[in-house]
Structures are given as structure tokens and as C-alpha cells.
Chain A
Amino acid sequence: MPDIFIAEPKDEPQTPAPLKQPTVLEEKAKSKQELFNNENGHEPSDYVHLFSAFKKNPQGITFEDQEDGEKIILFIRRSFVTNFQWIFIGSFLAALPLVLLLFLGFLQNPLPALASKYYLILGLFYYLFVAAYWYINFITWYFNIDLVTNKRIIDINFANLVYKDVAATELSFIHDVSFSQVGAIRTFFDYGNIIIQVPGATDAFIFESAPQPENIVHIVEALVRKENEPDN
């Protein structure tokens, strides 16, 4: 009896392997890809996602008073690095009750004057506060947007939940574009302030903590140059 482990393989005719049927997951992925590659042929990377800070020729973004034929060239938010402070503070606040419970023996006698049935409500109120803190900081970053279109620049400021300010100027009015990048952190993470001077305006347009400032300045300068060409 031949040992099956050392037996010579039989010379059987190679039959072609049956074609692999796509799985449900593969079909879903394909349809999602087709969804993103819509009729305009845009790639998924063209779309601005929740944490995008810089996108060139973004898709899926519209703004109030957008004119016909006006196309967004640059979509800019503050660099995501600027969010680390509130993320850290929020995480600390979220972990604080757990640390108190674990290390300080808070569990034995947390608040003597309070009945035990209120602990849960108190804890939930505390975490509601932490969630609100996170959310407010997130939307403050999320709605602070600067747009450069083929016709103008738009600076949308949103702060402290009750302050919002939208300023816009046409590209032809732009006098000077420059950027400042001061400090080790800004240099390391490549973000800085972009200052756009407009004659007659009391304040310059400032894109604060914008990522890739040098790149943005080059693009805006090129657009302004193109706008100011005699043909236009």
C-alpha cells in the first residue's frame, strides 16, 4: 500500500477551476464604489469626509448664494491637530469619575448626603455634559470653513455657539496673499495662518491654522493671476 504522504502525484488532466462567484460583501463593495464613481466620474477621495481639513476640488459641498458655474477649488478647515487640546480635555473629563472610583475608594462613600438612587442620574448628567463639550468643540471646528472658488473666497467663522460671520470677496479684489507659520508644532504638522489682503477692507481675510499653507497660497495666487488676466 503506497504511503499517501510520499506517493507521486497522479498525472491527471488539469481541469479549469470554476469561476469564483462574487460574494455578497464583494458585490456591496462594488456597488458602493460605483456609487462614489458617479456620473461625473469622481473618485471617493474627491469627497469631503467628516474630518477633512483640506481638499482640492471637493465634491458634495454646496454653499448658500453659490452662483451658477461657481466651482469650489479649495475647501479648508483648521488643521485637525488643533483639535487635540479639547479631545484630550474631554477624554480626561470622561475618565475622571472612573479614576476616582478605582483609586480613591470613592465607591464606598461617594457623596454621603446623597441617596444611592441619585448616583446614576448624576453620572448621566455628568457624561451628558462631557458629550456636549465634545460636540460643541467639534462643530466649532467643523463649521469654521474657508472656501476658495473660481470666482471668490469665502470665510465662514463660527465660534462660541452664538457667533457666526460669513465674509466673501471676489478674486479680482485680492491684493496680496501670504502665510505665516510660527512655532515648532505648526512647522512639524505643516499648518499656519493665511493672510489675504483686500484693499479698502478694514480687516484682512485670515484662514486660521490652515493645513498646507504654502500650497494654498500658490493656488490662490494662480487663481488671482488668472482672474486678473486681460482676457477676463
Chain B
Amino acid sequence: MLFLLVAARQVFAMNKIINDDNDSFFVKTSVLLLLIFAVSLFLTALVIL
């Protein structure tokens, strides 16, 4: 999860350096979805365990 947080931070930082009007939305949304999935999975695992 920490790994994905770093990835999200870097994606947003890189999008400031080079911005693609068409695809930046897709790249940002993907990392956010992955992060949401990771957090929810982690919380679910905590509840089950």
C-alpha cells in the first residue's frame, strides 16, 4: 500500500512536469483505483483476521 502511495505521488508529480491532455486522466485514475482497491483489501483482511 505504501508502494502504491509512492506511485500515486510520483504520477501526480510527473504529470506536472509533462502533461498529456488526453491520457493524464487515465493514468491518474488508474493509480487512484489501485490505491482504493489496496486500502479496501487491507481493511477487509484486518476485519477477517
Contacts and interface: CB of A to CB of B under 8 A. Distances in A.
Interface residues of A, number: 30
- Categorize the interface residue count of chain B: 20 to 34
A156 interface: yes
Interface of B: 3-4, 6-7, 10-11, 13-14, 16-23, 26-27, 30-31, 34, 37-38, 41, 44-45, 48
A145 interface: yes
A19 B30 CA distance: 45
Interface of A: 47-50, 60-64, 117-118, 121, 124-125, 128, 131-132, 135-136, 139, 142-143, 145, 147, 156, 158, 161-162, 164, 166
Contacts of A63: 17-19
Interface of B is mostly: helix
Contact of B10 (A60, A64, A164): A164
The 9 closest A-B pairs by CB, nearest first: A60-B21, A143-B14, A50-B23, A63-B18, A64-B17, A62-B19, A121-B45, A60-B22, A124-B41
Contacts of B17: 63-64, 156, 164, 166
